[in-house]
Amino acid sequence: MSLQYFAGAACRALTARKDGPSLYEVCDPILRQPGSGGDPHLSKFYRTALGNPALRTLLRRAGLPELNDPARLNALRQALVLARDNPTPDWESVGGPIAELVDGITLQHPAPPRRTGAVAMPPAAEIDRVIRACGADLLGSYGRNGFIPTYAAFNLIGDPDIRGREVLMALQGLDARGYKNSTLMFNLARVFIARSPAAAVINPPWRGIAEPMWEPVQIRHRSAYYDAFFTEALLSYLETGLASSEQTGTARAAIAAMVDFCLETSREEVRGADGKSYHVVTALAPPPHPRFSRFFTQIKQDLGFGVYVPDCDTTACSFSAATQAGSNDPILDQPLVDFYAGYQVRAGGNEPRVTVPINDNIDYEGGVATWIDSMAGERPYGNDLDPTLNLDVLEVSFRNLTRWQILETEARLAFIRRIVGFQQRLVLSGAFADPRAHIYYLPELYCAYFGRCYHAFMALPPAARQAIDPGGAFELIRLRVLAYVEDELVGREMNPFDAALALIALGHLGGNEASFAPAVHCIVTAFGEGGRRHPYRAYEWNKMKTPTRILVGGPEVTSAFVLMGLALARRCR
């Protein structure tokens, strides 16, 4: 969006006619100062996240007419008092008035128009030029920072899939009190934002599916999940043969350092459901390794994001990247599938692992939940279950099939087959294409990651593939996902990130030749949109839906996806 757009949108927000109490008129009498007893974090969160001068100015004329009703205003205030003063409040009672307001807003997922007109495949030299530029961007960023950063950005309007029902699910299923507080207050604020002209400032329109992360991108950080991804991107760059000899040396050194960050710096010991000790990979290593600025380190604590625990996805991706890089670290010898089995949902057969079922439109049977209990028993986010994460569990298992003796161990093979069954039901139902079915990712990214998983599956010997998938589920999924990519993703207007996801899926799943051209054309024509420092802008890679819509990505992330997508397109020409 242009500066002119934002200036106009801000002017409309600041001069709108006000009808009803604003967020601050509701909350200031209760939360501007902490109450007596209860939970002091709620007031601290309100002052830090919602009471800052910039947001106050933007929302000062955002009122809700229904709160002119004294009874309704009083019910909302009493709910906030209960959350402030009670150490263990009834979260359904606290959240009820907020959930009712959330149900009064209308948000929609992007629906890009159909693409019109044919485009030609750009010349091979143009593709190679973009690949080299993206490789140089990754290596240059590594050289400047000592790592390749990723960024997080808050979109306060929230996620379209989080309605009042899901707000109540989160308030009751999350564990950490600070996370409950932030979920409560962010969802109250999003009502005032979504129903006022301020929405146009906070949530401007964009092209394609993946949401751009509007500058400035707020929170730079490092995680093993990101290092694992960048490791795969640099391996892909080396495989193209386009890296110079100097770049090759730099890339190999960066890969070795990032694998070490994943397996050593981010290693954490936990206890499995079988009582055994396992080493997994934490979502965020202890300071100073995440590389947060000193300013945000304190803000993070104030917002209630002080506790992090390991997760199944970061562990799977870290083990996979290390395996692809040729690591022989003893941690890889652990049969990770034995640990994951304790987090696999089996209908009627295990503890209800999914405490935050905001995507309960899908059948969880056979899926692996996200968050790993720390050795101290911490589970701040409760637990949820994401389909794309389960693709990563399959992919790392295929790469370590022999090492973990999966085919030779009945329980391990059964574990893998149950995940395959989970994925088959998801895709054949059509739910894989519904954003509500996904916790942390776009359906389009699910398609790209299925391509990655399918590639690892097809690299197995035929007898192994038959043992894992005797019913041909992978071929059924491949056909459904490929049809979605060719008809829906490539068939509509894209941005460069969408196009990169399309190419990764097309390249791994055997897409028809004509489908590559629109995606490659989109990427090549958008080259340079990142300005002087990067080839491309930052887009949504993954997200949190609670406590509000928090996007994760970065210009280097876009470069990495574009590089991997074009490398596959180049191979398939």
Rounded Cα–Cα distance for residues 468 and 278 (Å): 25
Q: Which residues, including other chains, have CB under 8 Å from residue 238's CB and lie 6 or more apart?
A: 248, 251, 252
CA end-to-end distance (rounded Å), the chain: 35
Question: pTM of the entire structure?
Answer: 0.94
Q: Which of 4-18, 291-305, 517-531 has the highest mean pLDDT?
A: 517-531
Residue 216 binned pLDDT confidence (cut-offs 50, 70, 90):
low
Q: Which residues, including other chains, have CB under 8 Å from residue 410's CB and lie 6 or more apart?
A: none
Rounded Cα–Cα distance for residues 505 and 399 (Å): 19
Mean pLDDT on 10-36 = 87
pLDDT digits (tens, 9 = 90+) for 170-206: 999 999 898 999 999 999 999 999 999 988 888 888 9
53 lies in some domain: no
177 lies in some domain: no
Q: Which domain holds residue 551?
A: 124-154+202-572
3-state SS track over 38-104: CCCHHHHHHHHHHCCHHHHHHHCCCECHHHHCHHHHHHHHHHHHHHHHCCCCCHHHHHHHHHHHHCC
Please give the pLDDT value at position 300.
58
pLDDT at 68 over 90: yes
User: Alpha carbon 262 to chain centroid distance?
Assistant: 18
550 lies in some domain: yes
Please give the pLDDT value at position 376.
82
pLDDT at 217 over 60: no
Rounded Cα–Cα distance for residues 244 and 132 (Å): 9
360 lies in some domain: yes
Tell me if 528 sits within 8 A of 196, measured CB to CB: no
Q: Which of 471, 508, 282, 322 is nearest to 403 (CA)?
A: 322
Rounded Cα–Cα distance for residues 84 and 101 (Å): 19
366 lies in some domain: yes
Q: Which of 49, 59, 73, 70 is nearest to 23 (CA)?
A: 59
Q: Mind giving me the DSSP string for 402-462? A: TTTTTTT-HHHHHHHHHHHHHHHHHHHTTGGG-GGG-SSS-HHHHHHHHHHHHHHHHTS-H
Mean pLDDT on 401-420 = 98
473 lies in some domain: yes
- Residue 274 CB neighbour total at 10 angstroms: 10
95 lies in some domain: no
Of the given ranges (10-24, 79-93, 218-232, 521-535), which has the lowest mean pLDDT? 10-24
> What is the CATH classification number for the domain harbouring 343?
1.50.10.20
pLDDT digits (tens, 9 = 90+) for 306-359: 667 899 999 999 999 999 999 999 999 999 999 999 999 988 655 578 999 999
Q: Tokens for 204?
A: 């401007």
416 lies in some domain: yes
Q: Please indicate whether residue 555 or residue 303 has the higher confidence score (pLDDT).
A: 555
pLDDT at 236 over 60: yes
How many structural domains comprise the chain? 1
Please give the pLDDT value at position 209.
97
Rounded Cα–Cα distance for residues 289 and 295 (Å): 15
Please give the pLDDT value at position 290.
65
